[in-house]
Structure 1
Amino acid sequence: MMKTITEYYSDPDFTVLKVPHWRANYYKFLSVSLWGAIPSNLQRRLSSWYSSLYDKPFSKRIIKPYIRLNYSDKDYLSKFKPPHGKKDFESFQDFFIREFKELPKYKSTHVWPCEGLLCEERKIKDLKLVKVKSDVRSVATVFGLNDSDIPENYTFTNVFLHNKNYHRIHAPVSGTITRIQHIPGDLLVLRPWIYKENPSLPAFRNERFNIDITDNTNKVWHLSIVGGPAVGTIELAHGVAVGKTVRKLQELSLFYLGSTCCMAAPTAPRYHEANTFVEMGTPY
């Protein structure tokens, strides 16, 4: 893992639970078989209601204790500003969707679009088929594509964003947005350690926005921005539309609680492998 302790270092690591198989299977049963059996629209209504509690003014009292509990950097919040031009963090949700005061600056032509745990990293050709309800699906399903649309030598990555992580997704490269697709779906629990056989299982079922960026070498970078329980909204950034050019690190979207970001890229990560932490904006 490449250590990137800089003035922009955002403290992305968190405790990864080592769950025994029997307990992982139990949690998977609760997520997939019980919660997953609830109609998707009801899941979203319940999640929206729950997430709305963090919009209430009283919830801002949670911010300081939460920072003391979850971050080693006592000055963590000094790197960020409230969202939407606000002067103060008026709720916990404001903290959750905080903005960097300054984005990281690296010369690399391609960077990580988010921060969190890289829970899966494999070549497309090495990924197994996944059974979703009564269907068997390939990884192309995550991106709303056919198998032939993604070359086998592309690399699939899945970054799990813990609640403590920065929850905005940025462009990994400069280029042109050539596709945007919204896929309604479930909101299964995202914790990768409860899906030991396939940590990316929720990405095959959950609600998501897929965004393709064609870079300056005519290679397509496929992103899938995946929601989970308690996600009130996945919101695309202003100006993100098909045909628009984007620069590296331009904001693409944000999550209101809970998320995962999958990517199918024409190149493999140079400094990271599965089960390491990545930081938004650092070299991919």
Structure 2
Amino acid sequence: MKKTIFRLLTELSSRKSISRLTGAIAKSKASRSFIPRFAKTYGIRIEDAEKQLHEYGSLNDFFTRRLKPGLRPIDTTEHAVVSPVDALITGMGVIQDGTMLQVKGQDYTIAELLNNSPRQVNYKHGFFYVLYLSPTDYHRIHTPTSGKIVEKEHVPGKVYPVNEFGLRHMRRVLSRNERLITYIQHGSGEVAVVKVGALNVSSIQYVSPLPDQVQAGDELAYFEFGSTVVLLMENGTYSSRPELQVGSRVRMGEALGSLKPSSTN
């Protein structure tokens, strides 16, 4: 009964108008006073931040903070795919005939996740990660591989929570929430970086200017409050690190696995 009531309240609060209001408050100068308490509540390492706390103009400014240079080294191993974010892996595995199986007890089709894009066929038997960013995490999103940005798509939607409760008890939140999808072509094929909005995320923003050609680890976008990235690798192009599993924590720039050289495709 409690879960049913909470699910109903979450449905009612999942409208973009609520997130816009939350975002307006977080971007106001008055929200600066909440920064020290916010950092303490979530155990954020303020010493890692690029600036001092008093230098941030709003809570949102602090939340989307950059880190001091060198704190997230990028794995430069040939063919490496690096984590685009600091995150907890909440789902991963081989895509089975176009379906991501058992993400917190639910299955998702690539078709619905990619908004029925013609590119979905490229990932029908590929590999996926679901990477959850908590409020504690660094919230800038980086490119997982070098290559060329060949397509971008904004998919309007709801803003359900993407935490443990949302993924397990709300219906198919990854494919119902607002999404920003970026396709990056590399030497072996392409990857899709699906940025999923969430409750109290006022927006997902690309960095500006966003170049066509990117190097692994370049800034790509950022969340205004916590959310999730789904990373998709094309059919037959990728091998994950064997020790990674659901529940593993990864840092931006850390190798998740490797692409197969194009000559072997």
Shorter-chain TM-score: what band?
0.7 to 0.9
2:110, 2:124 within 8 Å by CA — same for their partners in 1?
Answer: no
Inter-partner Cα distance in structure 2 for 1:152 and 1:229 = 29
Inter-partner Cα distance in structure 1 for 2:146 and 2:86 = 19
1:21-46 deviation per Cα after TM superposition (whole angstroms, max 9, x unaligned)? x65555344334x445xxxxxx2222
Determine if the alignment matches structure 1 residue 181 to structure 2 residue 153: yes
2:110, 2:120 within 8 Å by CA — same for their partners in 1?
Answer: no
Q: Please name the residue that 2:248 is paired with.
A: 276
- The count of aligned residue pairs is 242
Q: Please name the residue that 1:215 is paired with.
A: 186
Q: Please name the residue that 1:162 is paired with.
A: 134
Q: Please name the residue that 1:116 is paired with.
A: 87
Determine if the alignment matches structure 1 residue 100 to structure 2 residue 67: yes
Inter-partner Cα distance in structure 2 for 1:280 and 1:191 = 19
Q: CA deviation at 1:283?
A: 1.1
1:31, 1:188 within 8 Å by CA — same for their partners in 2?
Answer: yes
1:17-74 deviation per Cα after TM superposition (whole angstroms, max 9, x unaligned)? xxxxx65555344334x445xxxxxx22221111211122232222223333322x7x
1:24, 1:194 within 8 Å by CA — same for their partners in 2?
Answer: no
Q: CA deviation at 1:273?
A: 1.1
1:31–1:53 Cα change, 3 Å: same
Inter-partner Cα distance in structure 2 for 1:118 and 1:129 = 13
Q: Please name the residue that 1:5 is paired with.
A: none
Inter-partner Cα distance in structure 2 for 1:117 and 1:128 = 18
Inter-partner Cα distance in structure 2 for 1:148 and 1:223 = 13
Inter-partner Cα distance in structure 2 for 1:150 and 1:99 = 33
Q: 2:26 aligns with which of 48, 54, 66?
A: 54
Q: Please name the residue that 1:79 is paired with.
A: 48
**What TM-score comes out, normalization by structure 2 length?**
0.80
Inter-partner Cα distance in structure 1 for 2:225 and 2:46 = 18
**What TM-score comes out, normalization by structure 1 length?**
0.75
Inter-partner Cα distance in structure 2 for 1:214 and 1:57 = 40
Inter-partner Cα distance in structure 2 for 1:186 and 1:141 = 14
2:123, 2:232 within 8 Å by CA — same for their partners in 1?
Answer: no
Determine if the alignment matches structure 1 residue 257 to structure 2 residue 229: no
Could you say what secondary structure the match of 2:228 adopts?
strand
How big is the alpha-carbon RMSD for the aligned residues of Structure 1 and Structure 2?
2.9
Q: CA deviation at 1:278?
A: 1.5
Q: Please name the residue that 2:100 is paired with.
A: 127
Q: Which blocks of at least 5 consecutive residues in structure 2 are unaligned?
A: 257-265
Q: CA deviation at 1:114?
A: 0.7
Inter-partner Cα distance in structure 1 for 2:200 and 2:27 = 12
Which one has a larger percent strand, Structure 1 or Structure 2? 2
Inter-partner Cα distance in structure 1 for 2:143 and 2:2 = 37
1:24, 1:196 within 8 Å by CA — same for their partners in 2?
Answer: no
Percent identical: 21
Q: 1:231 aligns with which of 188, 201, 209?
A: 201
Q: CA deviation at 1:260?
A: 1.0
1:96, 1:167 within 8 Å by CA — same for their partners in 2?
Answer: yes
